Structure formats: structure tokens, C-alpha cells
Amino acid sequence: MSTTTHGLGGLKYDPSKKARAPEWNVFFALVGIILIFELVGRIVMGDSFLFNTRDNVDTLFNQQRLQIIILQVSITGIIALGVTQVIISGGIDLSSGSIVGATAMIAMSFAQVAMVNGNPNPKAIFAEQGWLDLPVIVPVAVGLACGALAGFINGALVAYTRIPPFIATLGMMVTARGIAKWWSKGNPISFPTESYAAIGKGMMPVIIFVSLAVLFHLILTYTRYGKHCYGIGSNEQAMRMSGINVEKMKVLIYVIAGLLSALAAVVLSSKNLTAQAGMGVMYELDAIAMAVIGGISLQGGRGSIIGTVLGALIFGVIISGFTFLKLDAYYQEMVKGMIIVAAVVLDQWRQKSRARG
């Protein structure tokens, strides 16, 4: 039974012609970009982008490159997961990068060792208080609490003062960056404990990113929270009429985004073994760009975590591809910018053609 006829004027519906999930388009774009790099690499560089060409290694793919592709987008990817649910619910979060900076500074100052090479830690922030060599749970908890607080302020501003999310989170963006600079008067904070340094070591960022991506995919697909994110982004008034506490939901959505930014800050500062006031600058835009390239509609209501993960991978592939082709970083940014615009234009076209039906 390929065609079924239903009521309403005998509308015909062919179940086999179900619309292709938009994530497939992002996936094809990813494959296309990889193919371009592979082809250009073979022709221009005489080397493969993706496959292993070294004789001393016995793997099909160039594993090192694959690892780098995902490693370099893992931390912004964690932020992008939070940004995705914010955008799906019809909002925007410009503050993630600054929250990364502020929480990295604050968390790191609770993660410092007492002694460096037999001398007292010269950069210890809380030396007087003796808050050194603390168990790893302390800096992590403090960092997450800061992120949650920043997210709570964002969410409360958006939900209860009804100012546009753009403005509320822009305010947080500037404020949190100020806090990051003020915290140690602009000095970097270094020398974390070993257990803190382990959080972002090696491939840990990838493991954290991938597990969180799976978790948030499940949350957005199978829980009330996810359903209501899409609902609020789709028709806030309808949600309100259906008795859903939209304000509370929005606060929760921004708190979770703040928590993810804070987690990214912990992973990043741990990976770099230092925290600086300028950490995470522009991360919010990278995160938004990943979501947008992954097909998350800025109008809200549409998109998925799978899309964002694919968007992040496209980012990683482009950065790696340009390095592989030995092209300057300037070109990377130009191409990144163009891809963001192209992604939104394609999304608009897709919507229009669907509306015409």
C-alpha cells in the first residue's frame, strides 16, 4: 500500500514520499566539503585529506586528522548544545563566550596548587585564605554555579522584563567580560591541580562533548523540556494558553545554556592549564554559527542536536582542511563567514519551497 487516500476532499498522501529530514542536507554538505578537500588535496598537494597515506601506520583513515577535527570544535561544541536549545525556543544567547571567560577565571582560582617546583605558588589568588590544593569538585562546582547564575539572570531578564533576548544577553556579554578582567586585574591564573588538569586532558573534551550531545539529543527528543522548547519557539502564545509556565521554562533554558558555557570554561581552562580574561572571545558567535549551519532556524521551533553536531563537524573540517592545504587562517574566517550566510539563505529557500508545497 504505497498510496492511501484520506478524508478532506480525498487528499492523497504517499507515506513513502515523506519529507527528508533537514539534517540530511547538512550531512550532505559535510560530505561535500570533505570531498572538495580530498580532491583538492590529491590534485594540489598530492596527499589525501581523510585517508592514511603513511606506510608506517596501519589504518584506513588519517586518525590523527579525524581526532583534531573533532577536538578543535569540542569546546565550542559544548556551548553550541546550549545555544541550540536557546535558539529552538526562539531566543538567542550572545553571552556564552564571556561566561566562558568569567567562569574560567573564577573556577581556575579555586583550582590552584599550593606549591610549584618547591616554591609557593606565585600566582595563587586565594593564598591568604589558604584555598589551595582543593579537591577538584570545588572549582567545578564554583564554575558551574557561576554559569548557572549568569544563565539565571539572562533567563529572568528575558522572561520577566520581556526585553529582547538579544539585548539581555548582550548586556551579560559585556558585564561577564568585565568580571573576567576585574577578577585578577587582567592577570592570567595558572598552575591548576593535577585532578583539575585531567578534566580537559587529551581527548577528554571530545568525550565530554559527545556524551553531552547524546544527552541533549535525548532530552530534546523525549522529554517534556524538549517538547516545550520547540513549542515556545513555535508559538509562545499557544503554550501560554495551554497552561505552560513559559517564563519558568525560559529561565530554565538559559540556566542550562549558562551551565554548558561554564562547563566549556572548565574544560578549556583545564586543557590550557591557565585561565585568561580574554578566553572565549567570539565563542558565542562560533556556537551560534554551528547551530545555524546545522539547520537550527533562528525563528525558533526547528532544528535538532544532530544538526548542531553536524554543523560543528563542518566547522572542524573547514579549519583542518585549510591547515591541510597550508592556507592562511585569514581565508578560513572568510570562508566560515560565507558558509554561515549560505546556510541561512538555503534554510530560507527550503522554507519557501515548502510553504509553496
Residues that bind other proteins (CB under 8 A): 4, 6-9, 11, 13, 15, 18-19, 219, 222-225, 227-228, 230-231, 233-235, 237-244, 249, 252, 301-302, 354, 357
**200 vs 231, which CB is nearer to other proteins?**
231
Find out whether 140 and 199 touch, Cβ atoms under 8 Å.
yes
How far apart CA 44 and CA 103 sit, in angstroms, is 44
- Pick between residue 18 and residue 185 the one whose CB is nearest to other proteins: 18
Least spacing, CB of residue 239 vs other proteins, in Å: 7
Cβ neighbour number for residue 216 with a 10 Å cutoff: 22
Buried b (16+ CB within 10 A) or exposed e, 126-147: eeeeebbebebeebbebbbbbb
Which is closer to other proteins, CB of 19 or CB of 43? 19
**Sign of torsion over alpha carbons 294, 299, 303, 309:** positive
CB of 215 to other proteins, least distance (A): 10
Give the contacts of 310 (CB within 8 A, at least 6 positions apart): 23, 26, 27, 30, 293, 294
272-291: burial string, b at 16+ Cβ within 10 Å, e else: bebbbbebbeebbbbbbbbb
Closest CA relative to residue 248, chosen from 149, 155, 167, 162: 155
The nearest distance, CB 329 to other proteins, in angstroms, is 38
As measured in angstroms, the least distance from the Cβ of 1 to other proteins is 14
Minimum CB separation of residue 90 from other proteins in Å reads 10
Output the smallest distance, CB 264 to other proteins, in A. 21
- CB neighbours of residue 95 within 10 Å: 29
Q: Which is nearer to other proteins, 53 or 242 (CB)?
A: 242
* Closer residue to other proteins, CB minimum distance, 88 or 125: 88
For other proteins, the closer CB: 60 or 355: 355
Element (H, E) at 144: helix 137-156
- Cell numbers linked to 82: 546550549
Helix (H) or strand (E) holding 13: strand 12-13
Backbone angles phi, psi at 17, to 5 degrees: -95, 35
Residue nearer to other proteins on the CB measure, 17 or 185: 17
Name the residue nearer to other proteins (CB basis): 31 or 214.
214
Q: How many CB atoms lie within 10 A of CB 94?
A: 22
Give the nearest distance from C-beta 305 to other proteins in angstroms: 15
Least Å distance, CB 339 to other proteins, is 25
Virtual torsion, Cα 280, 68, 332, 177, nearest 10 deg: 0
C-beta closer to other proteins: residue 114 or 219? 219
In Å, how far from its chain's centre is CA 183?
25
Query: Residue 351 Cβ, how far from other proteins at the closest point, in Å?
Result: 9
